[in-house]
Chains A and B, each alone.
Chain A
Amino acid sequence: MKLQMVGCGHHHAPVQVRERLAFNPQQTEEALKQLRGRFPGSEVVLLSTCNRVELYTASEEEHARPSHHDVAEFLAEFHHLPVGDFFDDLLERTGEDTVRHLFTVAASLDSMVVGEPQILSQVKQAYQLASELQSTGPLTHHVFQSALKVARRVANETSINERRVSIPSVAVADFARNIFDTFNDKRVLVIGAGEMGEETIRYLREEGAEDIVVLNRNPSRAMELAEKFGGHTAPWSALHDELVAADVVVSTTGASEPIVRLDDFRKIAPRRFQRPLFILDLAIPRDFAPEIENELNVYLYSIDDLQETCRLNQNQRDRELPAAISIVEEETERFMANWWHRSTGPIIERLKQGWERPKEDELRRLLNKLPELDERSQNEIRISFDRLVNKLLHPPMTSLRDEAKHGTPHGLLEALTRLFHLKE
């Protein structure tokens, strides 16, 4: 098998290099077309994400696919960069290592945040685009389809991608979703305009939140954030009224003292009729007095509470990692054994054909000499001949299968070809 990956990832290449080598969807399309034109005998799939740029190539013949140097030159030309700026950051994997690498990437074990789910869809999109542009072939089809299956198996058999590890994702996926069933009918109140708040709104939007109100002492910053997420703003003086209407509160102000004290909240509470309230206090120092969490139907989470869950989730992921890696190893081994076994297919076929002809000749000669045999006897003889041929073929085929578990059995194939005069 002539399979290769040349590219760079977050483990070896700094972000300055990765961002210069990255391809947007239009560029990916253009690059695939150019590579097909330049290396017509090669199959090509290009995977470009914010953490990696990887070019997978495959061909039946060694010389048909681009070399490491060819890929570097292509990247330099495409992005108008000197090769020397990134050549040392390029990584190469060949054969079985390429398969293992792709399986590891698709299963999100090579991601910056191990277990993050986006990479699987990115691998799928890269493969689909290459298929649409007809730059894939039997080798890349086989390895990419297997990679998608491996990723699903890792996801099913381990909880590596079930556990969130960033504070906003934990807040929404592990807690908010356990309070509310839907978010499209919930009022989200954002107090302050910090980065963490912005990221949390992004997750809430993904969950369907539409009614977003931003409150900030600086109205222009509030307006900017509200416009970004299709929400609206409210004046700072309306804080208490907005708390009455809110279902989810994300607070990230830089205030040095709590902006909502227990007394304040108790004045608001009767107007809420004990409706559940989820408060994410992501500010340091905290914006909501900690005693508020004891109020009925109030679920108050500070950054420390969420960090603890993030840590637990990270530990959980780390514990799952060996199981996920062993799945990748097992699947790589299986893939390679299948692949090598497939490479013996033509020889086995020729071997069978080589025995088939003499068998038929001898059978015909025998039956001609014994015309008195009835149909039942003729059938018995035919069956015996078939059984004899199968028994004779069994030892070489078993040897081939056993040898193919550890690589293409070139020596054995050569020996069989010469011993039995197997011609193309």
Chain B
Amino acid sequence: MGGITERIEIFCFAASYTVALLLAIAAPWLRSRYRATVEQGFVIAGLVAHTLYLVSRTAHGGTTPLSSSFDWYLVAAWVLVAFYLYIKWQHPRFSLDVFVLPVVLVLIAVATFLTDREPFPVDRASLWWGVFHGAFLLAGTVAVLVGFLSGIMYLIQSNRMKHKRPPTQGLQLPSLEWLQRINTRAIILSMLMLALGLLSGSVLNLVNHGGDTTTVPWSDPVIWSSAITLVWLSVAFGFATFYKPARQGRKVAYLTLTSCAFLVFSLGVGLFFTEHRGSSNNKPAPEVDSQQQGQAPVAPEETYIADRFASGGGSA
């Protein structure tokens, strides 16, 4: 078993998802009773390989699944596929595949660009805060992506209904009511998760700096961009909760699409700045004799929140 898991590469599950996506795109022309089954088979096979790959990395690397940018994006893709399969199981007729699988492939592609990034600097004391921080940011990001996808589907479906076009063969979208419900839940969940992510990130910094708030890099652009995204999500949440017409129809879809734009902005800022910081960090760091100083070892120029956000968790 160990041998098999070691041989699984990103290509295996990425190829599985790609074949499933091609089968989904071909649905209007390829009418066979086996198409949908084969397609789902590829998604499930991809998810199994994806899971084994992550498990293998955790087992052999001795790290948590969210310990690097690379892992973080792969786990986000995994959660999205698992969520897709759950919805597909509940609503087999919905054609969500053509929307979800491209996003999954983009997340995997971004992960492959980040294979050289160093793991997050986490010592034993901050390990659990690091896991909480990464997990909350991950959940928030996936919620924003789900909201984005349901928003796109809402606008397509709404446009089709306005123009009185019957459903396209092989492309059955969910009802507007269902999509609106998912949109609203995505806004609430993403706001809560990202707020918790930011909070746990702050605690993480304090833990690693022995409670010294002056060393936390509050002016870091990554933190600022993430904070702006959180502010937007809070506004969207308030808008959708307290302004009655905003709970209905296309307004909710626009809110989720804008949330995704903020997320992409935040991720982009994160990737850009950590790359630059990474290049400056490549200079030989001065050796710190922590035992002499009587402190826990601390990585040089630590910016925990910023690094996490920049990792792609940078959605907050």
- Residues of chain A touching chain B, judged by Cβ–Cβ distance below 8 Å, are 153, 156-159, 162, 170, 174-175, 177-182, 273-276, 293, 296-297, 299, 301, 305, 308-309, 312-313, 316
Is there an interface contact between B248 and A276, defined as CB atoms closer than 8 Å?
Answer: yes
Q: Whose C-beta in chain B lies nearest to the C-beta of A294?
A: B162
Q: Which residue of B31, B166, B174 is within 8 Å of A313 (Cβ)?
A: B166
A-side contacts of B169, CB under 8 Å = 159, 162, 316
A-side contacts of B157, CB under 8 Å = 178
- Chain A nearest CB from B238 CB (Å) reads 17
> What separation, in Å, do the CA atoms of A324 and B12 have in the docked complex?
38
Q: Whose C-beta in chain B lies nearest to the C-beta of A179?
A: B176
Is there an interface contact between B176 and A276, defined as CB atoms closer than 8 Å?
Answer: yes
Q: Whose C-beta in chain A lies nearest to the C-beta of B170?
A: A159
Q: Assuming A159-B31, A159-B169, is B249 touching A297 (CB within 8 A)?
A: yes
A-side contacts of B162, CB under 8 Å = 293, 299
- Residues of chain B touching chain A, judged by Cβ–Cβ distance below 8 Å, are 31-33, 157, 160-162, 164, 166-167, 169, 173-178, 181, 244-245, 247-251
Q: Which residue of A158, A276, A309 is within 8 Å of B177 (Cβ)?
A: A276
> What separation, in Å, do the CA atoms of A371 and B157 have in the docked complex?
86
A-side contacts of B173, CB under 8 Å = 178
Q: Assuming A273-B244, A274-B248, is B178 touching A181 (CB within 8 A)?
A: yes
> What separation, in Å, do the CA atoms of A276 and B166 have in the docked complex?
18
Q: Assuming A178-B175, A179-B175, A180-B177, is B248 touching A273 (CB within 8 A)?
A: yes
A-side contacts of B167, CB under 8 Å = 174, 178
B-side contacts of A309, CB under 8 Å = 164, 166
Is there an interface contact between B161 and A178, defined as CB atoms closer than 8 Å?
Answer: yes
The 7 A-B pairs with the shortest beta carbon distances in the complex, nearest first, are: A156-B33, A297-B249, A274-B245, A181-B177, A273-B244, A181-B178, A274-B248
28 contacts between A and B (CB under 8 A): A156-B33, A170-B166, A174-B167, A177-B175, A178-B157, A178-B173, A178-B175, A179-B161, A179-B175, A179-B176, A180-B176, A180-B177, A181-B175, A181-B178, A182-B177, A273-B247, A274-B245, A275-B248, A276-B177, A276-B249, A293-B162, A296-B250, A299-B162, A301-B164, A305-B164, A309-B164, A309-B166, A313-B166
Highest count of chain A CB atoms <10 Å: which of B161, B166, B175: B166
Q: Assuming A273-B244, A274-B248, is B33 touching A157 (CB within 8 A)?
A: yes
- Chain A nearest CB from B169 CB (Å) reads 6
Is there an interface contact between B175 and A297, defined as CB atoms closer than 8 Å?
Answer: no
B-side contacts of A313, CB under 8 Å = 166
- Chain B nearest CB from A161 CB (Å) reads 13
Is there an interface contact between A174 and B178, defined as CB atoms closer than 8 Å?
Answer: no
Is there an interface contact between B175 and A180, defined as CB atoms closer than 8 Å?
Answer: yes
Q: Assuming A159-B31, A273-B248, is B166 touching A174 (CB within 8 A)?
A: yes
> What separation, in Å, do the CA atoms of A72 and B166 have in the docked complex?
46
A-side contacts of B175, CB under 8 Å = 177-181
A-side contacts of B248, CB under 8 Å = 273-276, 297
> What separation, in Å, do the CA atoms of A156 and B161 have in the docked complex?
26
Is there an interface contact between A178 and B176, defined as CB atoms closer than 8 Å?
Answer: yes
> What separation, in Å, do the CA atoms of A158 and B33 have in the docked complex?
9
Q: Whose C-beta in chain B lies nearest to the C-beta of A153?
A: B33
B-side contacts of A316, CB under 8 Å = 169
